[in-house]
Structures are given as structure tokens and as C-alpha cells.
Chains A and B, each alone.
Chain A
């Protein structure tokens, strides 16, 4: 369980709790908040009870 209010805080706490995630986060991670995908926005807020997914940072053509 990670308690975080923003994407930045989520990343920081995940890196502290699970150091193995640090290289994945550094490589690029997108965050889905209630189905809306954020690629770069650290300041995006994580509403209480929101569905949060970490996804690879998609490449496109």
C-alpha cells in the first residue's frame, strides 16, 4: 500500500519501497488515473480511491 497524493510522490515512494522499480521509472512510466493516461505530468493528483495503473511509456509510429 502506497499513500501518495501526486504522481511525483507516488514515484518517489515506490522507488523507496521497491528499489527495483527505479530503473523502470527512469526508463519511462505512464500512469493511468481512473482510465486517463498521463505520460509526463508529475503534478497530476491521485484522487482518493482512484484506480491507478503504472504502464510502460508507449512508443508510437
Chain B
């Protein structure tokens, strides 16, 4: 049975004619009779956001609030011999000055938390340009700035290293002299900037290469990029002398921020209440505390609320960008198009602290393919750069850039169409993935088949234009989730969740609960609760927000329906076993109740006071079974051979969503990830000087794409249901950033026959590559 295809109304009236978003349904989806899920109602937060009423991190204010500012290291690597805060403390209007001594170590041997503590305020050594060394709280910004100037730090400048390939050399300056490489035998006797080695794979790679007719081997580099969220980090902290505290903050996970801040401040978790604001983007960068513990420590010392808002320069220098990388890929193929061996070595910068970034690259690199012989090795590399943080499908885009470039080159070398070559080698249900487990139902093949049929693939190209395509993978995950449903006396429903709404989850979650209860979408209001209101919720990361909270919301709704049926039974004075729930109504089953008219949710709610009190449903779960996600992208790129400037002419995203709860948001995620990937591919990069200082900490010199840089990005949603979710939902937020780097590189290669191996493919690099090709 072939999938059915329906073209839905496009939300952008001025979209080009070729942009026609479609949702392709897989017929195996167990629940197909959706009435609300799959529609496109208005977003509940839209009006507030476009009229300026929405409150973001910097919009919270408290009486008596102080201004908090952070003093940062001007050196890439320096021993802090002494910090003299006496003059700053004496300045009129200064209420508190803190250094690392005001944040004693409460981490109890937890290395990950100790790293966060040290990153919040340097302890003895400044490890990168921008590393926080002290902070002040003062009555106004001018006083706080003056106080920062009065703090005297005696530094002993140390040798530094910022480049990934330089850092792995034995002669490189050590970022952490106590770091001995993990994951190698025998255990090293000398410290190194390589923090950890990991390896994944199966089969016999060397034997596989012996079977190959053609082998391609290349080295790639990608530069460090920032998530580029428009809203900088901001918070207001208030710690009372009684030991309780409150934090209003822009975050992707206020429960996790609460737990981390409480540990670092030595507080009971229950005594710190954290409220999340609206969020102007996070993409992984707000899964981690940066200045929040500092704000709390300042407030505790000053006994006044303290507001800390990072400047854009601080965000670039001292929050968490993604890794810079250096990746070797070797793949072998037979003339019939079968990939017989694949091998990759991935070196990813971690900043000065331990991470799992190369490991994630190693796991994702070949995940799209069904390979008999595959091996990936990852090296976590310490450098004097900011602490690396997650960025949307962390590490997968860089790995995909390298692997998908080689895949394209192999296809060309054996004279096979790039799509057909990928279809031939694509992973499918039952494939042993390159990172270990066997896949269940997955959508990589479906995205490739859809790409093959897509009109974009046949559209004519203009002068200096090339077309490329690439695939991408991301795991998705679930996690701890706690949700409440409360039915109001008038029958309206409040859905309370603990996952921050980053990409429109409130609308999607309300749709799922409305579907389950059988009431109109408008009858359900979804709120994000503070940490004092619900049990722990993991962060909105890993594409888990809608997946996890919809699962918990559906279960909470089912619990509420049980209560509603009990109440209806009491109203009718019949056994609850004789009551069913259909279309938002309790119905008495059986002919003996033929004269009982169905009771609506509103009618049952109105009588709640007489049938047992408030009506609610609750759910606390670990949402396991998030389905993996695959995407295929098609890019048309035009390159000006005189300037090296590139322009994306046309772009198409095809991705499996499991079930698109609110297709407009799903399309938005697809388009947003592609836009970020395009910026990463063409322009964005951290540029460090020889002194180890960041040269471009601002949007004038770090160029993210703006609307005029991008075409309308076409989308196609595939629905291959996730069998582990009651509605078949998969996460959709991250995978769309994975293919663009490679898709654009492949397009450039097809346009000029020049293989780009260094991202970003900025005008100077493109020109250099074109000139080198001419000379060759």
C-alpha cells in the first residue's frame, strides 16, 4: 500500500511556487483518526511575542535589584596569582564583590559539576579568553563598571593553544596538566590535551578495504561556531537570609538549572525555586549554567536581588560554542555501489573541560548507512577556548560534513547517481547501526526515495550553480517528565508542563491533550510551571520537549478521563464500569441507559464540587523509546567565481517526524535547522588571534544568515510512526542542522569540480580553492 500524500495550506502566502510543503503519511501508523493532532492552530504565545508583552530573561525585575557584572580574563591561559578586590569593595554603591572563594566546592567529587563550578568563576587558573574571575553587584550599571575596573588581578601568563590539530601534538602547551587520556591501554604516564579516546564499530575494516574497487580518503576541518541565539543569557537571583532563594532565568531546563545552582551554592534543592522565562533561542547553549550561580552568590552576599545580563561579547567569549574539528574519513566501495568499509578518526575541541563531543561525532558519523565493516574513533581535545556546549544535534553536523562529502565523491567515482548510491547503502529496519544497536522502523530510505521524486532534483540550474544533497541522523531521547492536568469548574483545561517551550511545544502539547480528552484545542491552556510546582523534568534538549511532555500529557489526560468517568457515574448513579469516554463526553453504554444523554466535560466539571471535588490527572514518567530521526537535504548553490561569495538559490528539507503534531512548527524546525546549517557552512566561525583572544565576538564580524541571505526553504514531512509513542511522535528539532554543511559542499563540488574540505566555505576559502584548482 503506497503512502498517501496531502498538500496542506502553506502558511507563507508569498512563498515561491516550488515551495509546497507536504506531509506524507505512512499507512502503518496505529492511530490515524486524529481530529486535532496534525492541524495548524494559532500559537498561544504568538500575540504576546509580536506585541512585546512576552517576558524574556532580561524582562524580570525586583524591588531593590542590583546590577551584576563579571570581570573576565583577557588572557587565553594564565595563572591567577592574586585578586585584590579591596578598592572595588570600598566604592560607594558597591554591595558585593565575589571571587571563587565565595563559591566553595560543594560538588563532592563530581568532576562534571566541579568543571561547571570552575567555569563559573576561575579557581587559580584562567583557561580561556573571557573566563570569569570575579563579579560585582552594585546599585547601577555605571557603578558596577567602575567597580570592575578597580579589581586588580595579578596574572602570570601561560602558554596557550587554541587549534585542534596543534593541541594534539606532544609539544603543545598543556591546558590541564592533570589530564591523562582516558580510554587507552596502557594508561598514559604523561598528561595530554587528549582527554579521552572512544571507539565504535563492527566487522573487519581492514578486510573490507581489501574488497574495495575504489577508496576515497580525505581530511576535513570545521571551525567553531556559536548557537547564535538572539537572546543573551539573563537572570535575576534573589537569596534570602533564611537560606531560600529564587531565580528567574532564560533557560532550556529550569529544573536542571535549579539542581546545578543548588549544588554549587550548597543549598537544599527544594529551597531554590526557579522560574523560566520565554526564551529567545537556546539550541543547546542554554542547557548549562554560566552566570546564574554567580548571580545567586552575589545576591547571597549583598542580601539584595541581583540581575545579570550577558552582553553579546560575553555570550561569544564565555558561553558554550560547539567544537572546532579535524576529521579523517576513509571509505571503500565496490563497482556495484556497495560500501564495503568505512573508517573515521574525529578530533573535537572541548574547551578546557571534559566532554563527549568527539564521541557523539563518532556515534553519528556513519549512522545513515548499512555497513558490514565500520570503525570510528573519537578524540576529545582540550584547548584554551570556552567550555564547549551542545549545539543542535551536537557533533553530528561536522561528522556528516566529512562523511557525506566522501559518500558523494565515491558515487561520482563509480558513476552512480548520488541519491541511488545512498539508497543502495541506506540503513533500514534490522540494520546494525554503526554505533551498536539494531534499528527498528526508521525513515532514511523514505527520505531518500522522497528526494529522488522531488521536483527540486529535476529543476534546471543556472550559470555558476551546482546542486548537492546529503543525509543526516540524530538520536533523539526522552527522559524524566512530570505533567499535571487540571479541569477548571467551567470545563476549561490547564495543562502544566515542566519542559521549557523553545520551539512551540505549548501548542503541540495542548493539541495532544485536546485530542486525548476529545475537546477543542482552544479549551486547553498549556503552561510551563516553575520548579516548585511539579516534580523534576529534564531539559528541553535532545529533541525531547514535545516527545516527552506529549507522552506524559496523554497519560495525564487518560488519568483525568478515569476521574471524569467516575464523576459521570456518580452523577448518573450507575457503575463506573458502564461509562465510556468518547468525543469529549461520558456516555453510558448499553441499551438500559438509552435515556441518559451524554455528559460533556463541561457538565461534569460544573458538578465536580458535589461529586468529589477538583478533577485532575497527573503523570510522572521516564519517556523512553524516542525514535531516531533521519533527513535528506537538497541544496542549489551559486558561486561568484570572481569574489568567492556563495548564494543559496534553492533548498529542500525532507525529514521523518514520526507524527507531525503541529505541522507548521515541524516545518519551522526543519527550516530553522537548515538556516543555521547554511550559516555554519558559509560564514560562521570563531577567529582567534595569535594571542589566543577571540577576534570576532559580535554579530558584525561573526556573520549569521539573515532573511535576505536565504531562499524560502521548502519542506517535506514524512510520517514513519515511532512505535514507542502513543501517537507515533519522534523528536524533530535537531536533525535538520545535520546535512546542510555537506549538502552545500557537495553542491559547490558539482558546480566547479572543487572539493571543499574546510568549513565555513567563506569567500576567501572558496576563492583559494578555485585558484588552486585552476593552477592544478
Instruction: Please name all residues of chain B whose beta carbon is closer than 8 Å to the beta carbon of A35 when the two chains form the complex.
Output: 437-440
**B interface with A by C-beta (< 8 Å):** 112, 198, 227, 283-285, 287, 356, 359-360, 363, 390-394, 435-440, 475-480, 541-544, 622, 624-626, 724, 734
> Mind listing 6 A-B residue pairs with CB under 8 Å?
A36-B724, A37-B437, A37-B477, A40-B622, A51-B438, A53-B436
Count chain B CB atoms within 10 A of each CB in A35, A37, A53 and give the residue with the most: A35
Instruction: Please name all residues of chain B whose beta carbon is closer than 8 Å to the beta carbon of A41 when the two chains form the complex.
Output: 622, 624
Q: Are B624 and A38 in contact (CB under 8 A)?
A: yes
In the assembly, what is the distance between CA of A30 and CA of B356, in Å? 14
A6 contacts partner chain B, Cβ-Cβ < 8 Å: no
Closest 8 CB pairs of A and B: A60-B542, A61-B284, A32-B437, A61-B390, A60-B541, A61-B392, A53-B436, A40-B622
In the assembly, what is the distance between CA of A35 and CA of B429, in Å? 10
User: Shortest distance in angstroms between A51's beta carbon and chain B's nearest beta carbon?
Assistant: 6
Other-chain contact of B356, A32, A44, A56 (Cβ < 8 Å)? A56
| Chief secondary structure at chain A's binding surface | loop
- By beta carbon, the residue of chain A nearest B731 is A60
Q: Are B391 and A59 in contact (CB under 8 A)?
A: no
User: Shortest distance in angstroms between A38's beta carbon and chain B's nearest beta carbon?
Assistant: 5
Instruction: Please name all residues of chain A whose beta carbon is closer than 8 Å to the beta carbon of B359 when the two chains form the complex.
Output: 56
In the assembly, what is the distance between CA of A35 and CA of B625, in Å? 9
- By beta carbon, the residue of chain A nearest B624 is A38
In the assembly, what is the distance between CA of A55 and CA of B439, in Å? 14
User: Shortest distance in angstroms between B442's beta carbon and chain A's nearest beta carbon?
Assistant: 10
Given A39-B477, A41-B622, A41-B624, is A60 in contact with B394 using a C-beta cutoff of 8 Å? Answer: yes
Given A27-B112, A59-B356, A61-B734, is A40 in contact with B480 using a C-beta cutoff of 8 Å? Answer: yes
- By beta carbon, the residue of chain B nearest A61 is B284
Q: Are A37 and B622 in contact (CB under 8 A)?
A: no
In the assembly, what is the distance between CA of A32 and CA of B477, in Å? 12
Q: Are A60 and B734 in contact (CB under 8 A)?
A: yes
- A24-61 CB contact bits vs B (8 Å, 1 = yes)? 00010010101111111100100000010101101111
Q: How large is the interface on A (under 10, 10 to 19, 20 to 34, 35 or more residues)?
A: 20 to 34
In the assembly, what is the distance between CA of A2 and CA of B655, in Å? 39
In the assembly, what is the distance between CA of A40 and CA of B624, in Å? 8
Count chain A CB atoms within 10 A of each CB in B437, B541, B625, B724 and give the residue with the most: B437
**A interface with B by C-beta (< 8 Å):** 27, 30, 32, 34-41, 44, 51, 53, 55-56, 58-61
Q: Are B287 and A61 in contact (CB under 8 A)?
A: yes
Q: Are B391 and A61 in contact (CB under 8 A)?
A: yes
A59-B394, A60-B542, A61-B393 provided; 19 other pairs, C-beta below 8 A?
Answer: A34-B438, A35-B437, A37-B475, A37-B477, A37-B625, A37-B626, A40-B622, A53-B437, A55-B435, A58-B542, A59-B360, A59-B390, A59-B542, A60-B284, A60-B543, A61-B285, A61-B287, A61-B392, A61-B734
User: Shortest distance in angstroms between A22's beta carbon and chain B's nearest beta carbon?
Assistant: 13
User: Shortest distance in angstroms between A15's beta carbon and chain B's nearest beta carbon?
Assistant: 17
Instruction: Please name all residues of chain B whose beta carbon is closer than 8 Å to the beta carbon of A37 when the two chains form the complex.
Output: 437, 475, 477, 624-626
User: Shortest distance in angstroms between B206's beta carbon and chain A's nearest beta carbon?
Assistant: 24
User: Shortest distance in angstroms between B725's beta carbon and chain A's nearest beta carbon?
Assistant: 12
Instruction: Please name all residues of chain A whose beta carbon is closer than 8 Å to the beta carbon of B440 when the two chains form the complex.
Output: 35-36
Q: Are A44 and B624 in contact (CB under 8 A)?
A: yes
- By beta carbon, the residue of chain A nearest B478 is A39
Given A37-B477, A37-B625, is A51 in contact with B437 using a C-beta cutoff of 8 Å? Answer: yes
Q: Are A58 and B437 in contact (CB under 8 A)?
A: no
